[in-house]
Structure 1
Amino acid sequence: MKEIALSRRAFLAATTTSTLIAGATRAYAINTASVIPRKLSPNEKLNIASIGVGGMGAGDVKGCSGENIVALCDVDAKQAEESFYRHPDAKKYKDFRKMLEEMDKEIDAVTVSTPDHMHAPAAYMAMHLGKHVRVQKPLTQTIAEARLLAKTAREKGVVNAMGNQGHSGDGIRELCEMVWAGAIGQVKESHTWTNRPIWPQGIADPLPPAPVPESLDWDLWLGPAPVREYGDGYAPFKWRGWWDFGCGAIGDMACHIMDPVFWALKLYEAPSYTVEVVEQEGMSKQTFPNKSVIKYEFPARGDMEAVTVYWYDGGLLPKRPEGVPEDEKLADGDNGSLFIGTDGILTTGTYGGDSRLLPAARMKDYKKPDPTIERIPGENPYLHWINACKNGTVASSDFSYAGPLTEVANMGNVALLAGVGQKLEFDVASMKITNNEAANQYLTKPYRAGWDFMKF
């Protein structure tokens, strides 16, 4: 099929009258000019439709199961078996476009728990129909998509959230309060690492063709991605390692592990920053590298001085700071972050929990600051989003925050595509790499004909 590459200008253009998402056999045309979310009282139950209901999607359906689950959509009936069984009265679909068109008036909110490459098309269509949305992390596969979803959510007035559950925890809030109270002085460096990938990467060629399982609609699974033959090892989980479908290790975990860094260091206030690949091993045109180290440099933000942020994956780790005994665990071990300040060292876990000064002796007489950040009841992101949908409040990790976080994370992948030795200067407001024009192509991607949802 013909692919249509979307320019940054086209991708960010506002759609004012209608959106058309074309399928192979028919077009789904939606008038979105005056669609607004349905008003609900706190005592009403939301009518929720879920897109992608196997694996993590099954957990997201469970998280919302106190509401009315009215529709379930998945391209793989086998993966969806548990959710289908638990909600026998929900209408079942393979194509989310058909579900949203047919059940438009019956749906208040939508969860999106598909592979990364489907997040933006599904969430964009749902929001244009006036549906509240909760989208799994990373919010999107590209920088342009993240910017678009944040813009669309704001314009449509829908409640929105990304599924990085740690952002709703008490731990990340305690960490921010420690940093902001000056527990380690000015933070000059941070180091974040993960044991991902725990799936194959560093693969040079597409997988050998194999019969498509009877339960799977492979063409719908591909969605906006370029056509390729089915192979054992893409769906349902290992897609994360492939450029066409996922975002690699950084896409899987940065919206969790870099979230404490992003929030505590107020990286969202930076008007620009640089990103470069320090090292990588095994990257190909098909898949992400087996391991990498990525370096970001952020200028001063308010009363915070300039800071250098490092990302490590594939088992690579930062150097243990001087003065920290070997028997003291850093973060959670395989995943976590270090903050290096002018007056000490702080470490935190995958989701911002168990934050502590290093060496451990420094915690003996340390008193954590009084809380200044609102706590999420029960640390439950699902209920917080559901209540926000009913009350018209802002949900935890809404797109105005999650969009920029996803952009910072995925700029690491842009740097990988630009190549080792290319230090990219990114201007946030213009969404442009200012020192390497060719690298701007990696801020967006081509869309398969029939899925080029911003063309219209």
Structure 2
Amino acid sequence: MTSQAGSSRRSFLRRAAVAGSVFSVVPRYVIAGSGQTPPSERIRVAAIGCAGRPVSNIVGVAGCGAEIVGLCDVDTRRTGKMQEKFKQAPFFKDYRQMLDTLDKQIDAVTIGTPDHWHAAMSIECLRRNKHVQCEKPLAQTFGEVDQMIAVARSAKLVNQAMNQGHAFDTIRTFREWIEAGLIGTVKEAHFWAPASYSCMDQLDELTKTHSIPQELDWERWQGPVAPHRAYCPLYLPGRWRFWTDYGCSTLGDWACHLMDPIFWALDLGLPEAVRVDDLGDWEPSKHGVTYPKGDVFTLSFPAKNARGPVTVKWFDGPRYRSVPCPDGLPHDQFAPRMEKYVNSGPSGEGGVIYGDKGVIVYGSHGAKNLRLIKDGKLVDTSDANKDLPPPRYPRVKGGSPYHEWLDAIKGGAPVGSDFAYAGNITQASLVALAALFDPGKRLEFDPAQRAFKNSSAANARLRVKRLPGYGV
């Protein structure tokens, strides 16, 4: 493709994305001879991160018609599956080299890296005129989320955070129930995630010398983190969420899925206060490089528009067993009382939304497994119940965030979970995680000033120092 043709294609896709629902699929003959590529052709996607969770995203966008044109990962121990599946896509260890080399061949980038890389990579791609899909949580620090949102707004490109449940039908049903007043005014919500992301009993491993695997570029993996640490196998693969330098703990991993429905339905915004109710024997000065084995937070959201204040309680790790069971729900149907935990299953993560006229219970991702309790009894939520509100919000094709992202790039409806929306959920989580470093009291947060009013220790966690040269 010539430079002029590549520029024309990118310009067209940018205009199509800005136009939003004005476009859907434009036949080739409509723009024949214009030098512009019709949006019905395949979107060319490069992937940063090719093992673990990102595999689902790469396969997902490819299955929805995208062409995978480049792959990048700094650790090749687990990338063989994607390299074999997409043999035509060149493989890189340096994402900037990939962006330089394939620039005119890339329309969009899907980012599936550890949290500490999200901001730098997303901002870099947006500034290079690429549409972006980024894994959740959106970033590792509060300040980085603000940066990402600002750059995304100025770039006017499609940006999507991968709390994929926002594309599901059930989250729309949940909002329709709330707006129809099925449970009245929402006062409180409880959320839980059984996962425990902590290495506080293994911190002595950090003092030992470990050989760096030949397949891993350890310095490049750490990227913007300051300072770089000596390698330890407890960091990766798959365990970087356990560490305050690289991840956002269980709360950061799961809040984007579990709190998504009420953030959307109630427009929660940012909390005005947070309190750490329980963190076990974790101490900031002793264990601060990793997260607690389990914790309980209370977040207070102020009244907004027509709704009153909302209290949100969060339980994770072994503390999830202490979530109160709502009246009217048998204990053997309530996940925290079930004997065996199954990730994302009926006995896994979930939430309870308390209104003054009823209760809604749901599972993970997009309010799956919705249940309604009225007058202390479970309500029939099948289509046979004509008292339930009819669908109001448009459904995403196949409930697929990948269809949604690619269609938005082609000029279809905007994505539901863009950086501005998802960033709000991430920042609420980061406010709570910052409170870990000043436990034992109610910390007041000022959303306008983007800071705590009464804790310098917590404020220090909202914006951490990054190495120069990464754009954050």
TM-score range, shorter chain: 0.7 to 0.9
- In the alignment, what sits opposite 2:253? 252
Alpha-carbon separation, structure 2, partners of 1:430 and 1:117: 24
Counterpart AA for 1:305: G
- In the alignment, what sits opposite 2:405? 385
1:423 has 2:442 as partner? yes
- In the alignment, what sits opposite 2:356? 342
1:150-180 CA-partner distances (Å, limit 9, x unpaired): 1111101110001111111011111111112
Counterpart AA for 2:168: G
Which of 304, 312, 315 is the matching residue for 2:318? 315
Which secondary structure state, in structure 1, belongs to the residue aligned with residue 359 of structure 2? strand
Structure with the largest fraction of strand = 1
What's the offset of the Cα at 1:384? Answer: 0.7
Which secondary structure state, in structure 1, belongs to the residue aligned with residue 40 of structure 2? coil
Give the gaps of 5 or more residues in structure 2: 1-6, 14-37, 337-345
What's the offset of the Cα at 1:237? Answer: 0.4
Give the gaps of 5 or more residues in structure 1: 1-33
What's the offset of the Cα at 1:438? Answer: 4.5
What's the offset of the Cα at 1:203? Answer: 4.4
Any conservation in 2 of the 1:117–1:246 contact (CA below 8 Å)? Answer: yes
What's the offset of the Cα at 1:92? Answer: 1.2
Aligned length: 417
Which secondary structure state, in structure 1, belongs to the residue aligned with residue 389 of structure 2? coil
1:295 has 2:298 as partner? yes
Q: How does 1:25-424 map to 2 (within 5 A)?
A: 37-40=10-13, 41-65=38-62, 66-197=65-196, 200-201=199-200, 203-205=202-204, 207=206, 208-225=208-225, 226-268=227-269, 273-283=272-282, 284-317=287-320, 318-330=323-335, 332-351=346-365, 352-358=367-373, 359-363=376-380, 367-391=387-411, 393-417=413-437, 419-424=438-443
Counterpart AA for 2:236: A
Alpha-carbon separation, structure 2, partners of 1:252 and 1:427: 24
Inter-CA distance 330–345: structure 2 relative to 1 (3 Å threshold) = farther
What's the offset of the Cα at 1:415? Answer: 1.1
1:386-415 CA-partner distances (Å, limit 9, x unpaired): 111111642131112111111112211111
Q: Identity of counterpart residues, as a percentage? A: 37
Which secondary structure state, in structure 2, belongs to the residue aligned with residue 147 of structure 1? helix
1:24-72 CA-partner distances (Å, limit 9, x unpaired): xxxxxxxxxx999531432121121110011111211111213221111
What's the offset of the Cα at 1:362? Answer: 3.2
1:83-137 CA-partner distances (Å, limit 9, x unpaired): 1111112121101122222322221100100011111111110001111000001
Which secondary structure state, in structure 2, belongs to the residue aligned with residue 176 of structure 1? helix
Alpha-carbon separation, structure 1, partners of 2:68 and 2:158: 18
Alpha-carbon separation, structure 2, partners of 1:151 and 1:201: 36
Alpha-carbon separation, structure 1, partners of 2:355 and 2:185: 5
What's the offset of the Cα at 1:288? Answer: 0.5
Inter-CA distance 129–298: structure 2 relative to 1 (3 Å threshold) = same
Any conservation in 1 of the 2:50–2:79 contact (CA below 8 Å)? Answer: yes
What's the offset of the Cα at 1:361? Answer: 3.5
Inter-CA distance 93–316: structure 2 relative to 1 (3 Å threshold) = same
Give the root-mean-square deviation of aligned CA atoms.
Answer: 2.2
Which secondary structure state, in structure 2, belongs to the residue aligned with residue 220 of structure 1? helix
Inter-CA distance 261–161: structure 2 relative to 1 (3 Å threshold) = same
Counterpart AA for 2:390: D
- Which stretch of the first structure deviates more once superposed, 199-208 or 37-46? 199-208
Structure with the largest fraction of helix = 2
Inter-CA distance 200–441: structure 2 relative to 1 (3 Å threshold) = closer
TM-score (norm 1): 0.86
1:256-310 CA-partner distances (Å, limit 9, x unpaired): 1111222222203x6x521111110243121000000010111112221111101
Any conservation in 2 of the 1:38–1:108 contact (CA below 8 Å)? Answer: no
TM-score (norm 2): 0.83
